[in-house]
Structure 1
Amino acid sequence: MNQELVYLDATRMAELIRTKEISPVEVMQAHLDRIATVDPRINAIVTIADGALDAARAAEAAVLSGAELGPLHGVPFTVKDSIDTAGVATQRGSPIFRGRVPDTDATSVARMKSAGGILLAKTNLPEFSYWIESDNLLSGASNNPWDVTRTPGGSSGGESAAIAAGMSPLGLGTDLAISVRGPAAQTGITSMKATHGRVPMTGIWPRAPRRFWHVGPMARSVRDIALAFSQLAGPDGQDAFASSAAPFDAGSGGLPSRPLRVGWMVGPGFGPVDPEVAATVKAAAETLQAMGVQVEHVGIPALERDFALDVFNKLHVMEMKPAFAAATAGRRPDELYKMARTMLALPDTSMADYIEAEQAAERLRDGFADYFSRYDALITHVLPIPAHKHGVDTFVIDGQSVDATYLQGATVPLNVTGLPGVAMRFGTSKEGLPINVQIVGKWHAEATILHVAALLESASPVRGLHPAL
């Protein structure tokens, strides 16, 4: 029964709790047992939340008393260890913040709790959430449940590994350039980076800059992502970017009355892509077409003119270095992991290059605006390759040698432009590893991309697969 419980999605779990078919205590204990069994091999969990079982008992009492229940009542959730959790250590993957315990929850955590969710644990990440692998000096490297010699990605890799391995049904990650979508692709789960500003970043380091940062839900089903997002979205009066009061309709209210128009592409403009990954994107497009969606192979000229990864790097180095410098001031080099040292050693972007990058970012936004004047969604890859071995710095992809930053080629355009994107599994590599696709929508069109994702999920050839642990 425990195995069945830990692989229920959060929506079903909440339904069964509400109808008293399972208890919150039973659910929580099943996940704690699962962590004890599989996490020694995965190393996804950094801290178990004190009082998780007590909170589950209180949730059970509320069910039995007939109290009003939230949509996530009694459901455990996990949180990346860069997101503040009141009374539970938030150490940001760095010895600098060892033992740091916040007094208050991040807005996103508070909203999950208000919906009835129960904090189960904090999950691993790279130092300061800043790399495509989840490894640091404080808690070490996380492993991929599908193959422990491979990474579950970064920076929300501990979160993705925990959910894929049945240690958590639902969680929160952050995304600067790839970090909820890439790990989802490497472990075969589902995640969403919403429109920039839809979910407040309050209570997440760094406070500034945050124009490319997002916090988003991670789960094993599209409907769980929609349910979590419905609780997370909206301004909080503290994050000035989170100013949009545009409502989120989890149903079909935001969809056009005509057939959907969807384009698909794997390049140019994203960098090289493995043929297996490209074939999975094409298969997803063909599946939608067979379901009555109007589908075309497309190109976006703006992505070919301005390579979004280069634009991002020129802007972000200039903006992020001060945050790194402030956090690490006076610290010994042996207290810093490789990405903090790398960031601090990078040369500043020249003012001329910075201004050109700002203009390029505007051109990219305009290019996507032009595309979405004709289409409702875009299907791309998430990563150009499936999950890779630990510690690899250079890859040969479709005959082209690239460094590890190129894995962000199809994800970072959404951070530069602020567009929403869902990552979901739709294929399997010849080595048995997950392959995800990315569904991109226009600004504030989360309902549309979740609908497209749900269509694909309903016809997915890999639906319901879990790693053998």
Structure 2
Amino acid sequence: MSIELISQDATRLAELIRNKEVSPVEVMRAHLDRIDAVDSKINAIVTVADGALEAARVAEAAVMAGEELGPLHGVPFTAKDSIDTAGVLTQRASPIFKGRVPDTDATSVVRMKKAGAILLAKTNHPEFSFWIETDNLISGRTRNPWNLDRTPGGSSGGDSAAIAALMSPLSIATDVAISVRGPAALTGVIGLKATHGRIPMTGIWPRVPRRFWHIGPIARSVRDIALAYSLLAGPDGADGFSTAPLKLDAGVGSTPGRPLRVGMLIDAFAPVDADVAATVQASADALRGLGVTVEPVRIPALEKINALELLWKLQVMETKPAFRKVTAGHEDKIFKHVQGVFDTPDTSIADFVDAEQQAEQLRDGFAEYFQRYDALLCPVTPVPAHAHDAAEFNINGQTVSSLHVMTATAPLNVTGLPGLSLRFGTSREGLPVGVQLVAPWLAESTLLHLASLLEAVSPVRGLHPDLSNI
């Protein structure tokens, strides 16, 4: 296994393969060896794809034959185990689906393969992708590579842990309240939740509440995120929420003559750990140094509306019937987090309607904000990676529920806004600290541009967890 090789991002690996400096087989073996070496302690991988090495041999033959190559030809990728993969176990983190092997690939997997990427493995997540940590009855708990006593988050904790631990260069994950951006922040990698509907959810479960579900890439470089997004986005003719063509982009990116205006918001998500607040401030200072206008802002709608609370009210009513149906007769196989959904009292119709109205008001509030600003800079999570099964946090002397971890991410699922998480700091305990960038609907280019600016000056760029003692 070559640490130098598995440390490369997907874009660089594709370049090395295209130039015949390394072979797809060499790249695949290096990542398989890495999984063998470290995953027994991290538990990010639930299934290694049968045929991954053979697919690499086919990819190598195509290179040697001079065939036309896709932008990710021969590059391994992983996918969350809630995403269908033809011929490869997809068990949805539940004993109820033990042994399930789909006949077809999800749209996102089809698109990755079309670009030449090779499915390496499936990654762990909480049962039905419905919790802030990654643990379940069929494949167990995933640990954070930076500190095995800490969580990598959820629900895409297996994806983020695999990327951080150099077991994969790129993964496809899902997000219903925090699940791409939170795990990315807690493990020091990069995650993008594109505008709702940008990337089709076809072939991904659960299907409800689909108006809040998003899919997005997790990687170690902004250019990999941008490349994956360009390959994954666009309608597929099956997902009715996915209608906007990729060429429709409302962002300003790096348009000459138009300086970007970014609002910074920390206090609206209080309490926030001092290291997190300092990291957001440091990223704001860095952007100012690069010519971006950054200033503190308020978004009144965020102050008036508890986005996490209303999201939960809406999700419980829509999720319970679907979960009841699939778990009927298998009650002994339900893990505690899905049971927690069942134990939550139903939302009254009056409260449900009120929550719907608040969601619309929140969208209006962000729309008004984005008339004046091109982006928003804020925390991803209020704390760095926390202990497994933490029920509450003590932040600056204030005790809050562990659900507070979603306070800054849930508003984007309620509204469908795009958000990107990337590391820009380190806590006093040596753990990654991320920041969140938010842009208007369909303005992913703005996110990617700002993220690339921060990445170029990041004080933590290129850092990986030390797994030498595992």
Q: How big is each residue's C-alpha offset from its partner over 1:323-365, in whole Å with a ceiling of 9 and x where there is no partner? A: 1111111113x31100111111211101111111111001100
| 8 Å Cα contact 2:250/2:440 also seen in 1 | no
Amino acid in structure 2 at the alignment position of 1:374: R
User: For the structure 1 residues 317 and 249, does the alpha-carbon distance in structure 2 shift closer, same or farther, using more than 3 Å as the test?
Assistant: closer
Instruction: Classify the secondary structure of the residue corresponding to 1:423.
Output: strand
| 8 Å Cα contact 1:107/1:200 also seen in 2 | yes
Tell me the distance in 2 between the aligned counterparts of 1:347 and 1:256. 53
Q: How big is each residue's C-alpha offset from its partner over 1:268-306, in whole Å with a ceiling of 9 and x where there is no partner? A: 2x2411111011001100100011111111111000010
- Measure how far apart 1:248 and its partner are: 6.2
| 8 Å Cα contact 1:130/1:339 also seen in 2 | yes
Instruction: Classify the secondary structure of the residue corresponding to 2:368.
Output: helix
Tell me the distance in 1 between the aligned counterparts of 2:28 and 2:246. 35
| 8 Å Cα contact 1:271/1:406 also seen in 2 | no
Instruction: Classify the secondary structure of the residue corresponding to 1:55.
Output: helix
User: For the structure 1 residues 126 and 179, does the alpha-carbon distance in structure 2 shift closer, same or farther, using more than 3 Å as the test?
Assistant: same
Counterpart in the other structure of 1:465: 463
Q: Percent identity?
A: 67
- Measure how far apart 1:92 and its partner are: 0.5
- The aligned runs of 1:150-299 (5 Å cut-off) are 150-247=150-247, 255=255, 257-268=257-268, 270-299=269-298
User: For the structure 1 residues 327 and 3, does the alpha-carbon distance in structure 2 shift closer, same or farther, using more than 3 Å as the test?
Assistant: same
Instruction: Classify the secondary structure of the residue corresponding to 2:161.
Output: helix
Tell me the distance in 1 between the aligned counterparts of 2:113 and 2:267. 41
- Measure how far apart 1:209 and its partner are: 2.6
| 8 Å Cα contact 1:233/1:248 also seen in 2 | no
Tell me the distance in 2 between the aligned counterparts of 1:100 and 1:255. 48
Tell me the distance in 2 between the aligned counterparts of 1:152 and 1:33. 22
Amino acid in structure 1 at the alignment position of 2:459: P
1:390 equivalent in alignment to 2:385? no
Counterpart in the other structure of 1:441: 439
Counterpart in the other structure of 2:23: 23
- Measure how far apart 1:206 and its partner are: 1.7
User: For the structure 1 residues 374 and 190, does the alpha-carbon distance in structure 2 shift closer, same or farther, using more than 3 Å as the test?
Assistant: same
Counterpart in the other structure of 1:456: 454
| 8 Å Cα contact 1:248/1:446 also seen in 2 | no
| 8 Å Cα contact 1:230/1:250 also seen in 2 | no
| 8 Å Cα contact 1:174/1:180 also seen in 2 | yes
Instruction: Classify the secondary structure of the residue corresponding to 2:390.
Output: coil
Counterpart in the other structure of 1:327: 326
Unaligned residue ranges in structure 2 (runs of 5+): none
Counterpart in the other structure of 2:58: 58
Amino acid in structure 1 at the alignment position of 2:60: E
Amino acid in structure 1 at the alignment position of 2:261: R
- The aligned runs of 1:294-373 (5 Å cut-off) are 294-332=293-331, 334-373=332-371
| 8 Å Cα contact 1:227/1:250 also seen in 2 | no
Tell me the distance in 1 between the aligned counterparts of 2:305 and 2:123. 35
Amino acid in structure 1 at the alignment position of 2:437: I
Tell me the distance in 1 between the aligned counterparts of 2:68 and 2:217. 24
| 8 Å Cα contact 2:252/2:445 also seen in 1 | yes
Counterpart in the other structure of 1:421: 419
Q: Which moved further from structure 2: 201-210 or 124-133?
A: 201-210
TM-score (ref. length: structure 2)? 0.98
- Measure how far apart 1:256 and its partner are: 6.6
Tell me the distance in 1 between the aligned counterparts of 2:253 and 2:451. 16
| 8 Å Cα contact 2:249/2:443 also seen in 1 | no
Instruction: Classify the secondary structure of the residue corresponding to 1:137.
Output: coil
| 8 Å Cα contact 1:255/1:447 also seen in 2 | no
Instruction: Classify the secondary structure of the residue corresponding to 1:197.
Output: coil
| 8 Å Cα contact 1:255/1:448 also seen in 2 | no
Counterpart in the other structure of 1:113: 113
Tell me the distance in 1 between the aligned counterparts of 2:250 and 2:357. 35
Instruction: Classify the secondary structure of the residue corresponding to 1:16.
Output: helix
Tell me the distance in 1 between the aligned counterparts of 2:272 and 2:21. 46
Q: How big is each residue's C-alpha offset from its partner over 1:159-195, in whole Å with a ceiling of 9 and x where there is no partner? A: 1000000000000110000000000011000010000
- The aligned runs of 1:66-145 (5 Å cut-off) are 66-145=66-145
Q: How big is each residue's C-alpha offset from its partner over 1:140-159, in whole Å with a ceiling of 9 and x where there is no partner? A: 00010000011111000011
Structure 1 segments, 4+ long, off by >2 Å, are: 248-257
| 8 Å Cα contact 2:424/2:434 also seen in 1 | yes
| 8 Å Cα contact 2:251/2:440 also seen in 1 | no
Unaligned residue ranges in structure 1 (runs of 5+): none
Instruction: Classify the secondary structure of the residue corresponding to 1:355.
Output: helix
Alignment root-mean-square deviation, CA:
1.4
Instruction: Classify the secondary structure of the residue corresponding to 1:20.
Output: coil
| 8 Å Cα contact 1:31/1:168 also seen in 2 | yes
Tell me the distance in 1 between the aligned counterparts of 2:215 and 2:169. 17
Tell me the distance in 1 between the aligned counterparts of 2:418 and 2:43. 30
| 8 Å Cα contact 1:24/1:74 also seen in 2 | yes
- Measure how far apart 1:366 and its partner are: 0.5
Q: How big is each residue's C-alpha offset from its partner over 1:194-241, in whole Å with a ceiling of 9 and x where there is no partner? A: 000000000011223300001100000010000000000000010000
| 8 Å Cα contact 2:233/2:246 also seen in 1 | no
| 8 Å Cα contact 2:266/2:277 also seen in 1 | yes
Tell me the distance in 2 between the aligned counterparts of 1:348 and 1:461. 46
Counterpart in the other structure of 1:40: 40
- Measure how far apart 1:399 and its partner are: 1.9
Tell me the distance in 1 between the aligned counterparts of 2:94 and 2:267. 37
**Count of equivalent residues:** 467
Tell me the distance in 2 between the aligned counterparts of 1:132 and 1:358. 23
Tell me the distance in 1 between the aligned counterparts of 2:209 and 2:310. 16
User: For the structure 1 residues 233 and 257, does the alpha-carbon distance in structure 2 shift closer, same or farther, using more than 3 Å as the test?
Assistant: farther
Amino acid in structure 2 at the alignment position of 1:455: L
Instruction: Classify the secondary structure of the residue corresponding to 1:77.
Output: strand
Amino acid in structure 2 at the alignment position of 1:215: I
